[in-house]
Chain A
Amino acid sequence: MLCDSCKERDAVVQVTQVTDPPVRQLNLCEKCAAERGIETQVTMPKQPLADFIQAVQQKQLLAGSESWRCTFCNSTLRDFRNTSRLGCAYCYGAFEVKLRDLLRGVHGTSKHQGKRYHPPAQAAEEGASVATELRNRLRRAVEQEQFEEAAKLRDQLKVME
């Protein structure tokens, strides 16, 4: 069926016109429908994070803070902006102020209302074993005079403590 407006393309949408009586049915192609502000395509889902990051870029919300660094995993806010992914759970502490704004933008709030969680009793012990491993790696790094690595491990330990 041809478009009732341009008489050139195939009609893809049927519209009931009620503004100018008598009421009549119009068959329109995609282009003519768009000109009348009628949507014919299924729009793809919104990407809240991408939209928000774009907004952040435009408003320069991260300006001046892009070089902020998480001392546990060594990633920066710039890395986050480029990949949309954080490096580790400690990034939430390192970039807390910016992430709170971002979470509000994405979810409408930053306050978790769901399940509360308490790590298992042996977790303290397990946390200690991660810390012990980091201390051992730190000792080895110092022994081998790998000072850059040692400084990184020291920072990680500081975050964990």
Chain B
Amino acid sequence: MTLDLSLLPDGGVNWLDASGDHSGIVLSTRVRLARNLEGFAFPGRARDGERLRILARVREAVESSPHLRRNLLVRVDELGSDDRLLLHERHLISKELAGLDQQHPVRSGAAVFLGDGIGVMVNEEDHLRLQTLRSGFNLADAFADMQRIDEELGERIPFAFHEEFGFLTSCPTNTGTGLRASALIHLPGLVLTKEINKTLAGLQQIGFTYRGLYGEGSEVVGNFFQISNQTTLGRSEEEIVDKLLQVLSTVIAREEEARRVLLRDAGYIIEDKLWRAYGTLRYARSLTFDEAMNFLSGVRLAVGLKLITGLSVYTLNKLLIFSQAAHLSHAEGRPLSESEANLARARYVRQALAAEVGT
């Protein structure tokens, strides 16, 4: 199977368009639900044939669901590893579904139904992982989309549900609501003012956690933190979402305050640091991924502080995604070695910035 992402609106990355609230600080908002079908072993335990039957059942339900029927079915189990990595880099499928984890190679029946900000992963850790994604800080719409598709699928296929424990999932950390709501948030101000540890420790004390750019198990790069609820049982879906909304509003306010402090107390030091980051991205001939992420973080902060003008957050968001290894290989039409990728990355970033602000 060949992967043709041109069939999706904006290649499945509409959420990069910086249209939501606080889009300079919050890259995207995501809600995901874990659901399993009654009568089948969970994907990790199910046989190949069972997983294919699960996919067939879900496909039937998706095709008759008003909000999902136009989604594009991608058979992840029929894609090569480069295409699977590309989907993962675009935040459309998890590392586990992509089979990029040595512990979990790609499973038969692994698939995703992709739509505009709405995805349904099949045969991931659970039979179904529903996810909705919105640009900027927009939990309310992401949650409303999720409720609609959960309702539509739940009417068509029987989910495993327990009176006391709620929705049953492969890992008990997701049992109950199966809901994980998160925002991918850029916090360079809190990192530079060394307030970040206090903020993150505070989050953990009230039942929230943070992860890196790609969610569970990923490292924090470029000062991007994915903040989400830690527990899924004992609170209603609305309570979880409301609480996260409050927590994120507080974190955003603290980040804005930290940025004001930085400008006030260390104006020229910060200005110098950020312009250097911009200079490197404009003229460097080779960039590793981590370097690019860190300099992009600086430029993003400079745009937020209005030190650099004429550069859109949308362009910066696109640079985050399209300067990753599989995207660079895809653009070049051939696999790239690490050093070739570093050259291609620097070239891509230079061209994208020049196209926006002129040479």
- Measuring CB to CB, which residues of chain A are less than 8 angstroms from any residue of chain B? 13-14, 39-43, 45-46, 48-49, 72-73, 75, 83-89, 92, 99-100, 102-103, 106-115, 117, 119-120, 123, 126-127, 130, 160
Contact = CB atoms under 8 A, between A and B. Distances in A.
Most chain A C-beta atoms within 10 Å of own C-beta, residue among B36, B39, B210? B39
Interface in B24-69: 36, 38-42, 44-45
Interface in B108-136: 125
> 10 nearest interchain CB pairs?
A112-B166, A89-B160, A123-B158, A119-B158, A109-B234, A107-B233, A130-B39, A87-B45, A114-B177, A88-B41
B164 A111 contact: yes
Contact of B176 (A40, A89, A102, A107): A107
B295 interface: no
Interface in B126-175: 154-168, 170-173, 175
A85 B38 contact: no
Contacts of A115: 177, 236-237
Given A42-B200, A49-B171, A108-B231, A114 B179 contact: yes
B234 A92 contact: no
Contacts of A119: 38, 154, 158-159, 161
A117 B157 CA distance: 12
Most chain B C-beta atoms within 10 Å of own C-beta, residue among A45, A75, A120? A45
Contact of B158 (A43, A49, A109, A120): A120
Nearest to B207: A108
Contact of A103 (B45, B179, B220, B233): B233
Q: How large is the interface on B (under 10, 10 to 19, 20 to 34, 35 or more residues)?
A: 35 or more
B230 interface: yes
A103 B237 CA distance: 17
B176 A120 contact: no
Contact of B45 (A45, A88, A107, A117): A88
Contact of B171 (A84, A92, A117): A84
SS class, residues of chain A in contact with chain B = loop
B280 interface: no
Contacts of A99: 165, 172
Contacts of B196: 42
Most chain A C-beta atoms within 10 Å of own C-beta, residue among B176, B196, B232? B176
Given A107-B233, A112-B176, A114-B166, 20 more contacts: A40-B197, A45-B209, A48-B173, A49-B172, A72-B41, A86-B42, A86-B171, A87-B42, A89-B168, A110-B165, A112-B163, A112-B164, A112-B234, A113-B233, A113-B234, A115-B177, A117-B154, A119-B161, A126-B157, A127-B38
B330 interface: no
A114 B157 CA distance: 19
Nearest to A12: B194
Contacts of A123: 38, 158
Contacts of B163: 112
B235 interface: yes
A86 B172 contact: yes
Interface in B234-280: 234-237, 239
Contacts of B339: none
B284 interface: no
A127 B158 CA distance: 9
A39 B201 CA distance: 11
A89 B38 contact: yes
A111 B175 CA distance: 10
B211 interface: yes
B148 to A, nearest CB: 13
A88 B42 contact: yes
A71 to B, nearest CB: 12
Contacts of B179: 114
B204 interface: yes
Most chain B C-beta atoms within 10 Å of own C-beta, residue among A41, A49, A113, A130? A113
Nearest to B162: A92
A158 to B, nearest CB: 14
B220 A42 contact: yes
